[in-house]
């Protein structure tokens, strides 16, 4: 299992980003409880975080060390992996559509400007650069997430011995 270099690199990149996402998740959880419509995006972010952690655990414990894991880890990887894959595909599609249609970017910038608090010193040029950076970052993150999820689901299927129940 030493030939998983690309998978391992992607796993650690996604784990690093998931750490930041988890901080954001916990910081917005209380405000989301006041607004039930905000719970769905938090649920989706939580699925991505759970998937990222469980796939990393599968890599480190199951594939690298050969430690047998409970079947619940496989189930968590599969369920959260499918949700993550759908979310990554939707994000990829939306970001590609925005990048292919440059006329949408001024609308996004205007919406971002309207969402800023009054007196924010960020100018329109700086805001345009921030929007471009965010779009490109999310494109790369969504692509890595989709590739990693497909690889993980394939590895889970190829390595059923990692999730065998220990005989009593």
User: Per-domain residue ranges for the chain?
Assistant: 5-163
Evaluate if residue 87 carries a pLDDT over 90. yes
CA angle 10, 16, 18 (to 5 degrees): 100
Q: Six-digit token pair at 153?
A: 């689901």
CA 148, distance to chain mean position in Å, is 10
User: H or E element: which one contains 30?
Assistant: helix 5-34
The pLDDT of residue 48: 96
pTM here? 0.87
In this predicted structure, the answer to whether residue 124 has a pLDDT above a threshold of 80 is no
Q: How far apart are CA 49 and CA 52, in angstroms?
A: 5
Nearest-angstrom CA–CA distance, 110 and 113: 5
Q: At what angle do helices 71-100 and 104-115 cross, to 10 degrees?
A: 110
Cβ neighbourhood burial of 52 (10 Å; 0-12, 13-18, 19+):
buried
Which pLDDT tens digit goes with each residue over 21-75?
A: 999 999 888 888 888 888 899 999 999 999 999 999 999 999 988 889 899 999 9
Host H or E run for residue 140: helix 124-158
H or E segment to which residue 33 belongs: helix 5-34
Whether residue 131 contacts residue 112, with contact meaning beta carbons closer than 8 Å, is answered with yes
């Amino acid at each position: 299992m030493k030939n998983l270099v690309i998978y391992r690199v992607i796993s650690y990149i996604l784990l690093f980003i998931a750490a930041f996402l988890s901080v954001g998740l916990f910081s917005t959880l209380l405000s989301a409880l006041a607004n039930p419509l905000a719970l769905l995006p938090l649920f989706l972010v939580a699925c991505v975080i759970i998937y990222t952690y469980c796939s990393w655990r599968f890599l480190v414990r199951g594939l690298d060390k050969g430690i047998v894991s409970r079947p619940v880890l496989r189930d968590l990887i599969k369920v959260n992996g499918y949700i993550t894959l759908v979310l990554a595909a939707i994000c990829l599609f939306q970001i590609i559509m925005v990048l292919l249609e440059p006329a949408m970017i001024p609308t996004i910038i205007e919406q971002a400007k309207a969402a800023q608090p009054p007196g924010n010193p960020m100018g329109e040029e700086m805001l345009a650069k921030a929007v471009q950076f965010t779009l490109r970052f999310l494109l790369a993150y969504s692509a890595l997430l989709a590739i990693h999820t497909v690889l993980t689901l394939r590895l889970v299927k190829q390595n059923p011995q990692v999730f065998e129940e220990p005989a009593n």
